[in-house]
Amino acid sequence: MTMTHRFLMYAILLIAGLLGGCSGDRSQDAALPMAAPEQTPPTPAAPPRRPNILYIAGDDLGFSDLGAYGSEIPTPNLDALANNGVRLKNFYTGPACSPTRSMIFSGMDSHLAGVGVMGGSRPEHKGQPGYQGRLNFHVASLADLLKDAGYNTYIAGKWHLGWSEETGPVARGFRRAFVSLDGAAHLGPFSWNDDGTNRYRDGTQLVTASHDFYSTRAYTEKMIEYIEADRAEGKPFFAFLTYTAPHWPVQAPDEAIARFKGKYDAGYDALYEQRLARQKALGLIPADAKGAPRAEGQPAWEELTGEERRIEARKMEVYAAMVSELDIHVGKVLDYLKSIGEFDNTFIIFTSDNGAEGGRRETMSPLKEWVEKCCDNSLENLGRGDSYIMYGPNWARVSAAPFSHLKGSGYEGGVHVPAFVHYAPLGRAGTSVAGVGAVMDLLPTFLELAGTAHPGSTYKGRPVLPVAGVSLLPMLRGEVDSPRRDPDYVGWELGGQRGIRAGDWKIVWDSREGDQARWRLFNLANDISEQNDLAESEPDRLAEMLVFWEDYHMRNHLIP
């Protein structure tokens, strides 16, 4: 057959196939053009890259402590994440650090995850599965689940969910870990442990900090080291960078403190008004918001002596240095991610672990006696590694602005924290969402990002509890206003401090009121600082909210 004959034959077959395409075997017809020598099969598309997940947490950081939330403290790196990302306007934690962390890693309420109480069981809680004071094994750990899904898992900073190797971060799914076991020191080896040393767990090994140790710098360097060590594997990572700053004691390098010398000489009352005004100017709070008054019995700045003012101002200088240094070191991590081309493919979320801490534990036993022996709390030495102080309730009120009450409380100042997400594929830069989110929602959010799911009722041969949190991604993408449906509320309890939020309504029980304790009702839409108790004037609304409380109590097996 000549070349001409072959060409005519091919043309006839091709025309027949095109014209006869309405009947007969379509698959054979479609195959004919593919037989042409000049056609090549398409290259399969590469599977989409799964995002890295970086969770950055501050410790005892108040709602107004970042520049993007009204602070005068320079925090340009975190501000850029907030301003170019998605802010969660109504994001809630537990009243204190360990309950919050248990909810992060379990996706459920702290009373089911093992931290219904801080530090250990009271007599009435002994033997109860939700009150061990550590992350229990009735839950599947977030780090384990992401590790199973092919992620490298790293933690640097505060763990606070178990002191032993068997309950430490490596045992719960972290490939690499460097964590503080007490979370209560920042500079050098000094701490209030029995042996006076600041203890850490490096992997599974117990270590003591060196004299040139600085927690914020150490955690940052460890995290970059971990990511870099495994980068050639090409796997996505989950990194929990959980700083202990600005948790007490207030300590920072001398050069960092020097940057704030004289900045707080006007005092805490003036600073409170400045932050409140800036929050209004930024549109974070209503223009008519009044904030919260000083705690009962606390002196006005003008009532302090000159020496008292100098000491108080120094405390805030050190605290501001801690926040500033946290931001500087976050910037180092972000610069590293950009340098390796992973910044845009990393889902970055920042939150505090609870509200601002207003206590003065160094003035109370047993810490008081230890501080008197170990530490130099003279004005000139405040903020160094061998000093041990807290900045107190009046500066903490500034940090909590515009909210009332502080860490440990069910009021907004204890549980409502700054929170924002930066992730380029969301395409929602500079936006905010108002739906109520909570730390137990992070596990399902991260699992959805990783393309995996919670195992359900069993994990590694043991029974586990189901997840109670919900993914925040639909809300972050702007698809829904609220991540929750039926019932649409969040709740918390610790040491008798209780709270429920549903929509704009909230009820709070403050056990510190003793015999005077009762449920109080607030409408946060027009009373953001919880100053106007509506329990008596809105009895029907209070009754509705108490139904939510009973549901929360029952679901989470609370023991009074």
Domain assignment present for 366: yes
Residue 49 confidence (pLDDT):
86
Task: Judge contact between 93 and 494, C-beta under 8 A.
Answer: no
Q: How far does the chain reach from its first CA to its final CA, in angstroms? A: 95
Query: 197: buried, middle or exposed (CB in 10 Å: 19+, 13-18, 0-12)?
Result: middle
Active-site residue, from 111, 138, 160, 416:
160
Domain assignment present for 166: yes
| Known catalytic residue at 186 | no
Separation CA 176–CA 539 (nearest Å): 53
Residue 43 confidence (pLDDT):
54
Separation CA 250–CA 381 (nearest Å): 12
Least confident piece of the model among 29-43, 180-194, 395-409, 417-431: 29-43
Domain assignment present for 40: no
| Known catalytic residue at 160 | yes
Position 23 pLDDT exceeds 50: no
Residue 517 confidence (pLDDT):
95
Position 193 pLDDT exceeds 70: no
Domain assignment present for 34: no
Position 20 pLDDT exceeds 50: no
Domain assignment present for 528: no
The CATH number for 196's domain is: 3.40.720.10
Beta strands in 281-389 (DSSP E): 346-352
More confident residue, 560 or 354: 354
Count of structural domains within the chain: 1
- Residue 546's contacts (CB-CB under 8 Å, 6 or more residues apart) are 507, 519
Residue 155 confidence (pLDDT):
98
Separation CA 424–CA 422 (nearest Å): 7
Over residues 77-97, the mean pLDDT reads 97
Q: Taking the CB of residue 211, how many other CB atoms lie within 10 A of it?
A: 9
Provide the pLDDT confidence category of residue 120 given band limits of 50, 70 and 90.
Answer: low
Provide the pLDDT confidence category of residue 370 given band limits of 50, 70 and 90.
Answer: confident
Q: What is the DSSP string of 84-137?
A: TSEEEEEEE--SSHHHHHHHHHHSS-HHHHT-SSSSS--GGGTT-TT-SSS--T
Over residues 110-139, the mean pLDDT reads 87
More confident residue, 342 or 362: 342
* Alpha carbon separation from 337 to 85, 237, 340, 491, 518 (Å, rounded): 17, 12, 5, 36, 50
Tell whether the torsion through CA atoms of 331, 334, 338 and 340 is positive or negative: positive
Over residues 550-558, the mean pLDDT reads 95
Position 148 pLDDT exceeds 60: yes
Q: Map tokens 């700045």 to a residue.
A: 301
Over residues 464-470, the mean pLDDT reads 96
Position 449 pLDDT exceeds 80: yes
Separation CA 135–CA 188 (nearest Å): 28
Domain assignment present for 281: yes
Beta strands in 304-405 (DSSP E): 346-352
Task: Give tens-digit pLDDT for 385-412.
Answer: 999 999 999 999 999 999 999 999 999 9
Task: Give tens-digit pLDDT for 254-302.
Answer: 999 999 999 999 999 999 999 999 999 999 999 999 999 999 999 999 9
Closest by CA position to 161, among listed 210, 119, 203: 119
Q: Please provide the average confidence, as pLDDT, over all residues in the chain.
A: 90
Provide the pLDDT confidence category of residue 208 given band limits of 50, 70 and 90.
Answer: confident
Over residues 165-190, the mean pLDDT reads 90
Residue 488 confidence (pLDDT):
87
Give the amino acid at 537.
S
Position 40 pLDDT exceeds 60: no
Q: What is the DSSP string of 59-92?
A: SS--TT-SGGGT-SS--HHHHHHHHTSEEEEEEE
Least confident piece of the model among 43-52, 201-210, 226-235, 455-464: 43-52
Domain assignment present for 91: yes
Residue 13 confidence (pLDDT):
35
The DSSP secondary-structure symbol of 434 reads E
Residue 146 confidence (pLDDT):
98
Domain assignment present for 216: yes
Residue 189 confidence (pLDDT):
80
Give the amino acid at 122.
R
Residue 478 confidence (pLDDT):
96
Separation CA 428–CA 416 (nearest Å): 23
Residue 560 confidence (pLDDT):
77
Q: Which domain holds residue 434?
A: 52-105+139-438
Over residues 136-140, the mean pLDDT reads 96
Over residues 22-44, the mean pLDDT reads 41
Task: Give tens-digit pLDDT for 297-337.
Answer: 999 999 999 999 999 999 999 999 999 999 999 999 999 99
Position 28 pLDDT exceeds 80: no
Residue 195 confidence (pLDDT):
61
